[in-house]
């Protein structure tokens, strides 16, 4: 019996050896034709509903997580930017955007939190006093990466791009990996690996650009999956190094954006703010945060400033106070940054096209986000900086700096490494045709990169973390946001305020509901903000609400001590779950 409309359900009694079961499952209409033409002599009993290309609702989804590097909150068109990002804008238009999604303010802590589901301090991947930890820290044995967790569920995992996690990708559950470990060269990397084996250095004669190559390797891995594991789901982790410094981009893109940024950062920031308001990203603010003219890069490299010449400045001064030389130099830097973002978007489009052409599009959950806010850093590393080289070329070494970083992080305060909103807020796009219906209004509940593992694992297992009795380590601090995709999913209790914790290089923060305490530097005092009214963190209400301040500070201290104890213990048996 054949019913029209809805998703197909097939019950097969016997299958002719003329056509394999796998082929038949992929082509149900062809099977019907073969049955009625007499080519299949075996008996089939069909009980299915014919539909268009909708996937089986019970099938495990594929996962594509795209992480970029040092992208500011407002650097995408769908988040208010003038930069051309048509592929990500289209992804957002047919999916959902988050307006309160957070990272850890820095590269390696975010990657560790994203792939394990734990705060980086819990697993020694950011500094814990008295514990060997930080960027060179080694995870406890119980802190497995997501690929190892979901492999028993049938998933095959792939990595392309930046790594910056302890251990090697293929030793941590990734079946294939292209790792770009050279963070100083987008055109001619010297240190990169394929499946953890060194690749030759890329020379000036080679046609290589980081975003293009990372996307190409990701596509190769997806094609490998189709060739070898077609009936299994995949997890693809694509980690672009753009738009992290050094600012390198194809010349034609730099030239395209040069005229735009001659208007200066005052005007561009205001233009972005107006556009953000039209996209539901005003946060109830009357205006964006005030630019802190006295706040420069988080690290002082005076020799780098000298190498970069008289056009470089390390403070976000009023644009009209700059010299003509400074304006030209600064405008060129932002033109390169924009070129990097557009180039990355183009390469993301190639990956998405591959999914569409392979038939995986409908049942692939795509996540896009950044590892931290835009960076105010200014330094010169790698092959150095040639002052006579074209901005964005391999011989140049430019950084965004605090002037344009303040634009990229509109409307928020501060930059990468700080845990004010500018350092930790990321654009976040989710797309999944099988489950997610387009929603123009952004999701406003607060979420964090620690929520990605419980979300993906829950969808992969279709039962959630608690169903896995073999899970080692403390309970995950994050929560699934899968209910934001499908109203039928269990929802987080809205009566319990969300608690999110931060610490990086002495910068500290805690968000409980809409209240947030934050401190810049280990010796600074706590500030208190009501993010429901003041996400720009402009009015410190610590003196007005001292009881709330004390309550949140005590809670931050308690969590910090809890995480320190967990980081010390390498044995899951000794951990209080």
User: What are the start-end ranges of the E strands in 231-373?
Assistant: 234-239, 364-370
Which segments within 323-468 are labelled E, that is strand? 364-370, 425-431, 447-448
| Shared-domain flag, residues 503 and 436 | no
Pair 285, 429: CB distance under 8 Å:
no
Asked whether residue 550 is domain-assigned, the answer is yes
Residues 420, 391 share a domain: yes
Count of domains for the chain = 3
Does one domain contain both 337 and 218?
A: yes
Q: Nearest 5°: phi and psi at 109?
A: -65, -40
Domain co-membership, 464 together with 389: yes
Whole-angstrom distance, CA of residue 259 vs CA of residue 281: 27
370: left (phi over 0), alpha (psi -120 to 50) or beta: beta
Give me the domain span that covers residue 545. Answer: 499-574
Task: Indicate whether 121 belongs to any domain.
Answer: no
Per-position pLDDT tens, the chain of length 577:
223 232 222 222 222 333 233 333 333 333 333 333 333 333 222 232 333 344 455 689 999 999 999 999 999 999 999 999 999 999 999 999 999 999 999 999 999 999 999 999 999 999 998 889 999 999 999 999 999 999 999 999 999 999 999 999 999 999 999 999 999 999 999 999 999 999 999 999 999 999 999 999 999 999 999 999 999 999 999 999 999 999 999 999 999 999 999 999 999 999 999 999 999 999 999 999 999 999 999 999 999 999 999 999 999 999 999 999 999 999 999 999 999 999 999 999 999 999 999 999 999 999 999 999 999 999 999 999 999 999 999 999 999 999 999 999 999 999 999 999 999 999 999 999 999 999 999 999 999 999 999 999 999 998 766 544 567 789 999 999 999 997 655 555 567 899 999 999 999 999 999 999 999 999 999 999 999 999 999 999 999 999 999 999 999 999 999 999 999 987 654 444 4
Residues 570 and 476 in one domain: no
Radius of gyration, alpha carbons of the chain: 25
Residues 6+ apart with CB under 8 A from 153: 60, 460, 461
Tokens 């056509």 locate to 19
Claim to verify: residue 454 and residue 513 sit in the same structural domain = no
Instruction: Give the Å distances, CA to CA, from 562 to 119, 120, 565.
Output: 11, 13, 5
Helix (H, G, I), strand (E, B) or coil at 30: helix
- 345/410 same-domain check: yes
pTM, 2 dp:
0.89
Which H or E run includes 527? strand 527-530
Scan for tokens 């099977």, then name that residue: 31
Does residue 131 belong to any structural domain of this protein? Answer: no
**422 domain residue, yes or no:** yes
> Is 113 a domain residue?
no
Q: What is the CATH number of the domain that holds 403?
A: 3.40.720.10
Domain-located, residue 124 = no
Residues 427 and 532 grouped into a single domain: no
Residue 336 lies in a domain: yes
Do the Cβ atoms of 525 and 506 come closer than 8 Å? no
End position of a domain, from candidates 484, 507, 536? 484
């Amino acid at each position: 019996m054949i019913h029209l409309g809805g998703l197909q359900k097939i019950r097969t009694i016997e299958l002719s050896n003329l056509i394999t079961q796998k082929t038949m499952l992929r082509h149900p209409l062809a099977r019907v034709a073969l049955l009625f033409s007499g080519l299949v002599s075996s008996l089939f009993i069909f009980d299915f509903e014919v539909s268009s290309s909708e996937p089986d609702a019970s099938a495990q989804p594929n996962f594509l997580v795209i992480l970029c590097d040092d992208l500011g909150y407002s650097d995408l068109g769908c988040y208010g930017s003038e930069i051309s990002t048509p592929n990500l804008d289209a992804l957002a238009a047919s999916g959902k955007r988050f307006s309160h999604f957070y990272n850890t303010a820095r590269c390696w802590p975010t990657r560790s939190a994203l792939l394990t589901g734990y705060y980086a301090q819990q697993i020694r991947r950011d500094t814990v006093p008295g514990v060997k930890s930080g960027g060179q820290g080694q995870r406890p044995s119980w802190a497995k990466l997501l690929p190892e967790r979901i492999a028993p569920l049938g998933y095959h995992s792939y990595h392309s791009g930046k790594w910056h996690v302890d251990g090697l990708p293929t030793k941590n559950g990734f079946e294939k990996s292209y790792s770009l470990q050279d963070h100083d060269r987008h055109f001619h990397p010297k240190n990169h690996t394929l499946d953890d084996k060194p690749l030759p250095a890329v020379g000036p004669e080679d046609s290589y650009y980081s975003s293009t190559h990372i996307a190409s390797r990701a596509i190769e891995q997806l094609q490998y999956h189709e060739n070898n594991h077609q009936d299994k789901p995949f997890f693809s982790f694509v980690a672009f190094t753009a738009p992290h410094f050094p600012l390198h981009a194809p010349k034609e893109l730099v030239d395209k954006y040069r005229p735009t940024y001659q208007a200066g950062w005052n005007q561009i920031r205001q233009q972005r703010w107006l556009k953000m308001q039209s996209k539901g990203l005003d946060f109830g603010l009357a205006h964006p945060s005030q630019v802190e003219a006295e706040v420069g890069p988080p690290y002082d490299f005076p020799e780098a400033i000298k190498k970069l010449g008289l056009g470089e400045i390390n403070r976000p001064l009023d644009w009209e106070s700059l010299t003509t030389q400074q304006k030209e130099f600064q405008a060129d830097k932002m033109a390169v940054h924009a070129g990097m973002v557009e180039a990355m978007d183009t390469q993301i489009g190639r990956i998405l096209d591959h999914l569409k052409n392979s038939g995986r599009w409908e049942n692939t959950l795509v996540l896009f986000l950044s590892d931290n806010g835009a960076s105010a850093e200014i330094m010169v590393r790698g092959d150095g900086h040639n002052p006579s080289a074209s901005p964005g070329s391999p011989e140049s070494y430019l950084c965004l700096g605090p002037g344009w970083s303040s634009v990229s992080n509109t409307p928020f305060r501060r930059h990468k490494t700080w845990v004010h909103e500018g350092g930790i807020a990321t654009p976040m796009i989710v797309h999944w045709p099988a489950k997610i219906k387009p929603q123009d209004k952004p999701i406003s509940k607060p979420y964090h990169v620690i929520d990605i593992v419980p979300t993906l694992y829950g969808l992969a297992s279709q039962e959630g973390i608690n169903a896995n009795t073999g899970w080692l380590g403390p309970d995950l601090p994050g929560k699934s946001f899968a209910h934001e995709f499908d109203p039928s999913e269990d929802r987080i209790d809205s009566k319990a305020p969300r608690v999110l914790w931060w610490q990086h290089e002495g910068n500290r923060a805690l968000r409980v509901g809409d209240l947030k305490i934050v401190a810049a530097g280990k010796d600074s005092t706590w500030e208190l903000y009501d993010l429901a009214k003041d996400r720009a963190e402009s009015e410190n209400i610590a003196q007005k609400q001292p009881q709330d301040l004390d309550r949140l500070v005590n809670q931050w201290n308690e969590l910090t001590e809890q995480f320190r104890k967990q980081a010390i213990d390498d044995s899951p048996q000794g951990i209080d779950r």
